[in-house]
Structure 1
Amino acid sequence: MFSTLLIAFAIVVAINCLFYILFANFAFAKPQTPSSQAGFPVSVVICSKNEAENLKKHIPLWLEQQYPNFELILINDASIDKTLEVIEEFAATDERIKIVDVKNNEAFWANKKYALTLGIKKAKNNYLLFTDADCKPASNSWIQHMANHFSSEKQLVLGYGAYAKKSGLLNKLIRFETVLTALHYFSFAKAGMAYMGVGRNLAYTAKLFYDTNGFMSHMYIRSGDDDLFVNEAANSTNVALCATPESFTVSEPKKTWKSYITQKKRHITTASNYKPLHKILLSIIYLVNCLFWIGTVVSFVFLQWEWVATLVFFRLLIQYIIFGKTFKIFRESGLVLLLPLLEILLISFQIAIFISNIFSKPKHWK
């Protein structure tokens, strides 16, 4: 029994480390060289629902982008606050702003994908860059850095959407999960298996959107305008990665556990619609992480501590090396010191969310 338990624990550690090799391929790779210094027209598309205050702060930042040719498509998604009024005020002073005022449609009630589709149809340019109303660009060259990665082959650009640093455990957990998620989707994309992106910072061509029939295959799913579209539209050759600090966007994180749980419940519901290979690989990653920590406790109880400690040390060493580099790329180096604590907390949190979603699923994006 003891030898079987040790072998099983060693297999879990080995599988863990195999995935870390996949992650290392991104973490230690040289940044992708932009295929061009873009100057072609870009349409920045932003969907807003009850975001009047955020728009007041962020529209000036988008308009200050140092890019020679872009328009700003601002979508009012049936807001009940002063979102439309704020957009109209700015549009009156800057002709680059184009307004899309969406009324609730009975067939697509509160569906962000419907609003985004109308915004994309309004855009006059082939190159589209997306972010959210509560996001601000990390620099005034955000558009330039993202657009530089477009080419005749690369029609989809994955960017990074960070969360602002605040005090407290919740904020650290949110930022940790954000970096970990980015490590996963950047690493898979680099290996030719892109499975998601984040709507806070994502770019693709209008041609790719129409060739994929937009969001039609998953329009009935309330969330997933970003990850489900990427899951369907991406292939092994048409995706570029942009992880330069100047290309980041920054969002205000949730401030309460309740609001964070609601957000995560909505996000997790989309994963079941990924391609089978993606679901299998992501499930294995999560499973072996769970088994590692469970196996650590069980093995220390029943096995000689020297063998267990060696395996645990080896796994944590590999993880610290790769995650340390990754967190440096995404400007979150301070979180590495809390790695075991945050990983265990995130695993426990995800289990709770999964169980909760079985009984209650969110219906609206806001």
Structure 2
Amino acid sequence: MLTITFYAFVAVVVIQLFYYLGIFGKFAFAKPQQTTPKRVPISVIVCAKNEAENVAKFVPLLAEQDYPDFELVLIDDASSDNTLDLFEGFEKQYPNIRLVKVENNEAFWGNKKFALTLGIKAAKHEYLLFTDADCRPDSKNWIREMSSCFTKEKTIVLGYGAYEKLPGFLNKLIRFETLLTAVQYFSWAKAGRPFMGVGRNLAYKREEWLNVRGFMDHMKIRSGDDDLFINQAAKGKNTTVCYTPDSFTHSEPKTSFKEWFTQKRRHVSTSGHYKTSDKMQLGAFYASQLLFILLAAVLLAFQYQWMIVAGIVAFRYLVAWLSLGFSAGKLREKDTVYFYPVFEFALIFVQLNVFFSNIFSKPVHWK
């Protein structure tokens, strides 16, 4: 049995090396991105529901972007606080703001996709740039950097939505998980197999949205206005990535484990609706992470070929550390990989709990 376990361990490590070098390496070891400014007319779309505190801080940062031709489409999704009042005030203050008011609709009650659909239809420009109401762009050049990646062929742009740096283990764990997710969707996009994006920083041409009938195929799934759309519409030929520092957005992370765990449950439940091939590649990666730790622990506990096993473990961690380290450098998240083995183990534990929790109950979506 130990011999079989050893060969299974070697196979798992090979799978891990395939991911960290063959796939993630396409992003990790790529040259720094250089962009050429364009003057593509852009509609920036922000959907908010009861986000008064955030929109008060971040809407001016969006409205005052340094870009020659853009509008800011603000969608109030039937807020019960004073979000709409703030939007109306900003509409009077900034001439480039277009306001969309969403009334509660029994058929689409609390469905963000319905609100976004109205906003997309109201936008006057064909190129659309999305962010969330609790996000801030890292610079006044955010629109310029994201729009610079559009070409005649590349009509979907995946950006990076980071989280603010705060003290504590949970914050670093959240940011490490965000880094790992970004490395995956950037790398697979570079490999010609895009599978997701994040609504905190995402751009596409409206025709891509129309080609897949908007959100109609997954309208009943409350989440996934970003990743389910990208999973459906993105192809190797029409998708590119943007990871210049000025293109990043930042939002405030959860500050309690319970809130973050609930958020992760929503994300994982949404990924269950991805294409089968994408679910398989994601499942293979996370399963190989778990099996790597379990099989290595068994072999080392019984001291079976322990020097070889220890050497393989060290080599695998070195490769993973380098791959994620170079990626973290590009995304300005270097401090999250200093204790990579600890974060990896913690994430595996969280993912297992999320998996079993979602089996017995469904997470709540949107607001």
* TM-score range relative to shorter protein: over 0.9
| Letter matched to residue 332 of structure 1 | E
| Letter matched to residue 74 of structure 2 | L
TM-score, with length taken from structure 2 = 0.98
Aligned to 2:200: 200
Hey, what's the Cα distance between the residues in 2 that align with 1:328 and 1:124?
A: 37
Q: Given that residues 50 and 81 in structure 1 are in contact (C-alpha distance below 8 angstroms), is that contact kept between their aligned partners in structure 2?
A: yes
The CA deviation at 1:5 is 1.9
SS of 1:263's equivalent in the other structure is: helix
TM-score, with length taken from structure 1 = 0.98
1:36-47 pair list within 5 angstroms: 36-47=36-47
Hey, what's the Cα distance between the residues in 2 that align with 1:15 and 1:253?
A: 32
The CA deviation at 1:359 is 1.4
Hey, what's the Cα distance between the residues in 2 that align with 1:248 and 1:183?
A: 14
Hey, what's the Cα distance between the residues in 2 that align with 1:40 and 1:309?
A: 54
Q: Given that residues 32 and 241 in structure 1 are in contact (C-alpha distance below 8 angstroms), is that contact kept between their aligned partners in structure 2?
A: no
RMSD of equivalent CA atoms: 1.0
Aligned to 2:325: 324
Structure 1 outlier segments of 4+, above 3 Å? 31-34
- Deviation by residue 1:125-155 (Cα, 9 ceiling, x = unmatched): 0000000000000011000000001111011
Aligned to 2:165: 165
The CA deviation at 1:33 is 4.6
Hey, what's the Cα distance between the residues in 1 that align with 2:69 and 2:144?
A: 10
SS of 1:203's equivalent in the other structure is: strand
2:92 pairs with 1:92: yes
The CA deviation at 1:40 is 2.0
The CA deviation at 1:31 is 4.1
Hey, what's the Cα distance between the residues in 2 that align with 1:223 and 1:336?
A: 29
The CA deviation at 1:156 is 0.2
2:305 pairs with 1:304: yes
Aligned to 1:222: 222
1:171-250 pair list within 5 angstroms: 171-250=171-250
Q: Given that residues 33 and 244 in structure 2 are in contact (C-alpha distance below 8 angstroms), is that contact kept between their aligned partners in structure 1?
A: no
Hey, what's the Cα distance between the residues in 2 that align with 1:94 and 1:255?
A: 33
2:19 pairs with 1:19: yes
The CA deviation at 1:296 is 1.5
- Deviation by residue 1:156-184 (Cα, 9 ceiling, x = unmatched): 00000000000111111100000000000
Aligned residues: 365
The CA deviation at 1:32 is 4.8
- Deviation by residue 1:21-54 (Cα, 9 ceiling, x = unmatched): 21011111124554x5211210000000100110
Aligned to 1:49: 49
Aligned to 1:313: 314
Hey, what's the Cα distance between the residues in 2 that align with 1:232 and 1:167?
A: 38
Q: Given that residues 173 and 336 in structure 2 are in contact (C-alpha distance below 8 angstroms), is that contact kept between their aligned partners in structure 1?
A: no
- Deviation by residue 1:102-129 (Cα, 9 ceiling, x = unmatched): 0111111100000000000110000000
Hey, what's the Cα distance between the residues in 2 that align with 1:98 and 1:37?
A: 25
- Gap runs ≥5 in structure 2: none
Hey, what's the Cα distance between the residues in 2 that align with 1:91 and 1:261?
A: 36
Hey, what's the Cα distance between the residues in 2 that align with 1:161 and 1:363?
A: 22
